[in-house]
């Protein structure tokens, strides 16, 4: 008797991720969880250069500005709570210095442009269909930066609006990079602050929009969907897989979904290198009972040899 529902997954046959891949990750906080796994295993990647972006229009705006090489200036930022902010970026970029913020926005935008142009894989995780529109400017923001809520109108994007945004994202990437594989996924993080029913409605809009774009491209190998949301809901159907806030997946859940992702998307050659990287990562955390013992000194030398060997094969891998 099978007491566990599993999402059927099929290993990709085209453009698998290996140690020559360049990976750009954009979107909600879940994309950062996957990005951290890629960083741990020393893949070449860039994670959310403008910080966490929750909804598709924020991601579209970043990609559009990067592709078109927008130049941020003072008119694009504002001062609030003793810091300068940009409505297009997460508060992690905010700064007490106006000049520093403008400089950092342009630096990260230039970095994003280069990664979009050169990436082999672009992973986009959509978190919510709910958006906040700045009443005065009519602009939909990526982040409210704790500006009083009365200055914003909360709206939910329609399926058609999300669908159009996804198409624009694909077209914008394609205008500078014809070779990148774009992997869409929906974040398993529950946006309960919007309300339980509202969160379900939001996820339904995102999934329906993505599938409506992907369905006509069923034979395409460059636009794909990875079911992280579905794995969380159907395979990890238990609160023991959530963090203490009962909203975010915990480390066990993140590792489980990551294992599913690597089974589908990483090459067999990459798996071998990942094993070598993990051996070194665990070795670096090892604490010896007797640091001066012959056994420990031999272990350290073996670790150093493995590091040098990896660096010889992949010069960008540094521990």
Query: Alpha-carbon dihedral of residues 125, 134, 89, 230, nearest 10 degrees?
Result: -10
Q: What pLDDT is stored for residue 294 in this prediction?
A: 85
Residue 24's closest CA among 154, 176, 139? Answer: 176
Which is more confidently placed, 293 or 97? 97
Q: Which two tokens stand for residue 66?
A: 């990067």
Structure confidence by residue, pLDDT tens digits, 206-265: 999 999 999 876 556 689 999 999 999 999 989 999 999 999 999 999 999 999 999 999
Which pLDDT value is given to residue 159? 98
CB atoms within 10 A of CB 3: 4
CA–CA separation, 162 and 214 (whole Å):
13
Q: Among candidates 292, 11, 20, 7, which has minimal Cα distance to 179?
A: 20
How much is the pLDDT for 217? Answer: 66
pLDDT tens digits along 45-81: 999 999 999 999 999 999 999 999 999 999 999 999 9
Domain boundaries, the chain: 22-267
Q: What is the pLDDT of residues 262-312, one digit of tens each?
A: 999 999 999 999 999 999 999 998 888 888 888 888 988 999 999 999 999
Angle between helices 159-176 and 56-67 (to 10 degrees): 20
Residue 119 carries which DSSP code?
A: -
Sign of CA dihedral 109, 110, 111, 117: positive
Q: Residue 148's pLDDT is what?
A: 97
**Cβ 287 vs Cβ 306: under 8 Å:** no
Q: So what's the pLDDT on residue 218?
A: 55
Long-range contact pairs involving 299-306 (C-beta distance under 8 Å, separation at least 24): 306/276, 306/279, 306/280
Domain 22-267 bears CATH identifier 3.40.50.1110: yes
Mean pLDDT of 37-47: 97
pTM of the model: 0.94
Mind listing the pLDDT tens digit for each residue in 142-188? 999 999 999 999 999 999 999 999 999 999 999 999 999 999 999 99
State mean pLDDT over 191-214.
Answer: 95
């Amino acid at each position: 008797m099978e007491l566990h529902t599993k999402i059927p997954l099929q290993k990709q046959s085209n453009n698998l991720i290996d140690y020559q891949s360049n990976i750009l990750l954009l979107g909600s906080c879940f994309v950062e969880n996957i990005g951290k796994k890629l960083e741990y295993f020393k893949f070449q990647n860039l994670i959310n250069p403008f910080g966490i972006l929750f909804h598709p229009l924020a991601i579209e705006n970043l990609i559009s500005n990067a592709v078109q090489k927008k130049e941020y200036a003072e008119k694009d930022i504002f001062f609030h709570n003793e810091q300068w902010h940009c409505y297009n970026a997460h508060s992690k970029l905010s700064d007490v210095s106006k000049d520093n913020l403008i400089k950092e926005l342009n630096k990260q935008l230039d970095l994003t442009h280069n990664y979009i142009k050169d990436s082999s894989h672009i992973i986009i995780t959509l978190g919510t269909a709910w958006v906040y529109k700045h009443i005065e400017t009519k602009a939909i923001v990526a982040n409210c930066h704790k500006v009083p809520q009365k200055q914003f109108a909360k709206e939910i994007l329609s399926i058609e609006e999300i669908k159009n945004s996804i198409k624009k994202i694909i077209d914008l990437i394609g205008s500078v990079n014809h070779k990148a594989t774009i992997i869409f996924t929906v974040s398993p993080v529950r946006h309960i602050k919007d309300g339980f029913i509202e969160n379900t409605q939001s996820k339904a809009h995102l999934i329906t929009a993505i599938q409506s774009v992907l369905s006509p491209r069923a034979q395409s190998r460059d636009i794909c969907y990875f079911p992280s949301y579905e794995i969380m809901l159907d395979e990890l159907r238990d609160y023991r897989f959530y963090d203490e806030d009962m909203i975010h997946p915990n480390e066990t859940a993140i590792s489980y979904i990551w294992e599913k992702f690597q089974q589908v998307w990483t090459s067999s050659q990459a798996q071998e290198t990942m094993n070598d990287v993990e051996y070194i990562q665990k070795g670096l955390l090892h604490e010896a009972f007797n640091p001066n013992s012959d056994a420990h000194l031999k272990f350290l030398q073996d670790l150093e040899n493995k590091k040098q060997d990896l660096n010889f094969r992949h010069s960008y891998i540094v521990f």
